[in-house]
Amino acid sequence: MPRTLGRPYRSLVLRDPRSRWGSCSAAGDLMFSWRLVLAPPEVLDYVAAHEVAHLARMDHSPAFWAILARLCPGHAAARAWLRAEGAGLHRLRLG
């Protein structure tokens, strides 16, 4: 996806954050919650596209949402799933 935008990323890490599914720093560091592997594939695609869109726009302006729509058409359903079901993924405890 970063190639689609013509924007490089610096690093990619998986973590277990409590409040975010992903993030993108101004330096191009992408972080994703490992718990996304438990979500439907389209939800993972949405979160990845959301953070990659931040490589081009570090805001949630209409321009950002237009980039996201290009990267992930139909993202609204995946976003709604995450809002409805995401808390259940955070409740899981492994180990």
pLDDT tens, position by position, 39-48:
999 999 999 9
Arithmetic mean of pLDDT, 75-87? 96
pLDDT confidence bin for 2, thresholds 50/70/90: low
Residue 94 covered by a domain: no
pTM: 0.91
At 35, give phi and psi (nearest 5°). Answer: -65, -15
pLDDT score at 4: 72
Q: Please, which residues bridge with residue 30 across strands?
A: 12, 24
Residue 14 covered by a domain: yes
Tokens, residue 44: 């993972």
pLDDT score at 63: 97
CA distance linking residue 93 with residue 95, whole number of Å? 7
Domain of 58, in residue numbers: 2-86
pLDDT confidence bin for 11, thresholds 50/70/90: very high
Residue 75 covered by a domain: yes
pLDDT score at 95: 61
75, with CB counted inside 10 A (0-12, 13-18, 19+), is buried
Tokens, residue 41: 């594939």
Number of folded domains in the chain?
A: 1
Residue 17 covered by a domain: yes
Residue 95 covered by a domain: no
In this structure, what CATH number is given to the domain that contains residue 53? 3.30.2010.10
pLDDT confidence bin for 5, thresholds 50/70/90: confident
